[in-house]
């Protein structure tokens, strides 16, 4: 099957993503976000997310099919995120995909959410094919991971990940400290435009020599979040600052610079250590303009080529799940059996889940 027509379902967090691809060609990318429902809580509430997926799935599938100009009977396969992610949210997508595949008599591919973010690059219009090996830095609300990708469908190695808060979580929590709306990433990005990134030297987690021996490629943003909170507390308690507003712009810019510095430094260290002159950026936090700017500038100086999928494909979406399955199909991989469930801690090394064993 040279160019399989695949529908992908993504429900790992707060976005219901339905994507349809024909081989490496994007036909539709429908996303229904429940972000507004979580805003009053200042973060994603798993139960709210799961219910929102239930309500959005059928309309999203209908919209994706209409945009692609195909019917369910036209499909060659169905794909779904098995994990990692929020267990309840994943269950909705897994259940829907199994029901859809069985009712249509179509093969089902259960795939890894994180590897899907790498696969999104395949859908970049007019781009050269992704070369291997490559280093991938995935940064989102729930994940901050550094990967060594030797082959998209067979060999992805986890180099490091966050040991506490993901970068996106840190943005949300610091935004709350600064009385900025949820989601925090875009709000801090906007506030930082008027600030000085060198105004405050916030700590760079797991970057000291003593940390690098054990955590060279790991990330930690919890301490940074706490450092921002303590700085604000000290500023407000200082009598010399009475009547002076907290310098939100400078704090936002300095915080953002600390996050970006750590992300880019560790990613480029992996490129240098492993001799890989290629870096792929993925995940929703890649929408941060300063992260893209610094990554491109420092990578060019280091002789590293940077690839960034279209921003519409960086956030969680069904198209990346569909194209990963299409790649698996084209490489000769069999479908998944129905003996899989939602796996909130699915390791990145499991690119496909429950692949059927040939008789």
Binding residues for substrate: 138-142, 172, 185, 189, 288
Q: Quick one: 239 exposed, middle or buried, by C-beta within 10 A (0-12, 13-18, 19+)?
A: exposed
Give CA 246 to chain center in angstroms: 32
Q: Is the dihedral of CA 343, 321, 184, 202 positive or negative?
A: positive
Q: What angle do CA 223, 229, 234 make, to 5 degrees?
A: 125
Query: Which residues does residue 147 pair with via DSSP β-bridges, in sequence order?
Result: 136, 158
Query: Which residues does residue 32 pair with via DSSP β-bridges, in sequence order?
Result: 16
Are the CB atoms for 185 and 287 separated by under 8 Å?
yes
Please name which of 287, 311, 269 lies closest in space to residue 188, comparing C-alpha atoms: 287
Helices (H), 22-146: 35-39, 46-68, 87-104, 113-119
Q: Which residues, at least 6 apart from 29, have a Cβ–Cβ distance to it below 8 Å?
A: 17, 19, 64, 312, 313, 317, 318, 319
Are the CB atoms for 244 and 145 separated by under 8 Å?
no
| The token pair that represents 152 in the structure block | 């998209």
Residue 283: strand, helix, or coil: coil
Binding site members:
113, 117, 138-142, 172, 185, 189, 288, 316
Are the CB atoms for 47 and 359 separated by under 8 Å?
no
Are the CB atoms for 254 and 196 separated by under 8 Å?
yes
Length of the chain: 359
Q: Where are the beta strands (DSSP E) in 197-298?
A: 278-282
Are the CB atoms for 267 and 285 separated by under 8 Å?
no
Binding site members for Fe cation:
113, 117, 316
């Amino acid at each position: 099957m040279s160019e399989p027509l695949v529908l992908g379902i993504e429900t790992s967090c707060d976005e219901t993503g339905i994507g349809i691809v024909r081989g490496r060609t994007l036909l539709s990318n429908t996303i229904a976000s429940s972000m507004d429902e979580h805003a009053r809580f200042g973060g994603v509430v798993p139960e709210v997310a799961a219910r929102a997926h239930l309500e959005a799935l059928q309309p999203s599938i209908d919209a994706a099919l209409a945009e692609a100009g195909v019917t369910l009977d036209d499909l060659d396969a169905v794909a779904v995120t098995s994990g990692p992610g929020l267990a309840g949210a994943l269950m909705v997508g897994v259940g829907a995909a199994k029901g859809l595949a069985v009712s249509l008599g179509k093969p089902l591919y259960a795939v890894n959410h994180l590897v899907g973010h790498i696969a999104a690059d395949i859908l970049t219009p007019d781009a050269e094919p992704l070369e291997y090996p490559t280093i991938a830095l995935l940064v989102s609300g729930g994940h901050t991971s550094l990967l060594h990708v030797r082959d998209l469908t067979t060999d992805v190695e986890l180099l490091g990940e966050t040991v506490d808060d993901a970068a996106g979580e840190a943005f949300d929590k610091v935004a709350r400290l600064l009385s900025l709306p949820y989601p925090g990433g875009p709000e801090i990005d906007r506030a930082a435009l008027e600030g000085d990134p060198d105004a405050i030297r916030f700590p760079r987690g797991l970057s000291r020599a003593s940390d690098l021996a054990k955590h060279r490629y790991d990330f930690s943003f919890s301490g940074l979040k706490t450092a921002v909170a303590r700085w604000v507390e000290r500023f407000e308690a200082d009598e010399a600052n009475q009547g002076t507003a907290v310098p939100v712009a400078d704090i936002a810019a300095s915080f953002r610079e600390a996050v970006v510095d750590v992300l880019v430094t560790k990613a480029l260290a992996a490129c240098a250590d492993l001799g890989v002159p290629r870096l792929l950026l993925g995940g929703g936090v890649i929408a941060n303009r300063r992260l893209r700017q610094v990554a491109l500038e420092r990578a060019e100086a280091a002789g590293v080529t940077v690839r960034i999928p279209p921003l519409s494909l960086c956030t969680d979406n069904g198209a990346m799940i569909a194209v990963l399955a299409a790649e698996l199909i084209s490489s000769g991989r069999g479908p998944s059996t129905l003996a899989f469930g939602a796996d909130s801690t699915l390791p990145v090394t499991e690119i496909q889940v429950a692949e059927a064993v040939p008789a």
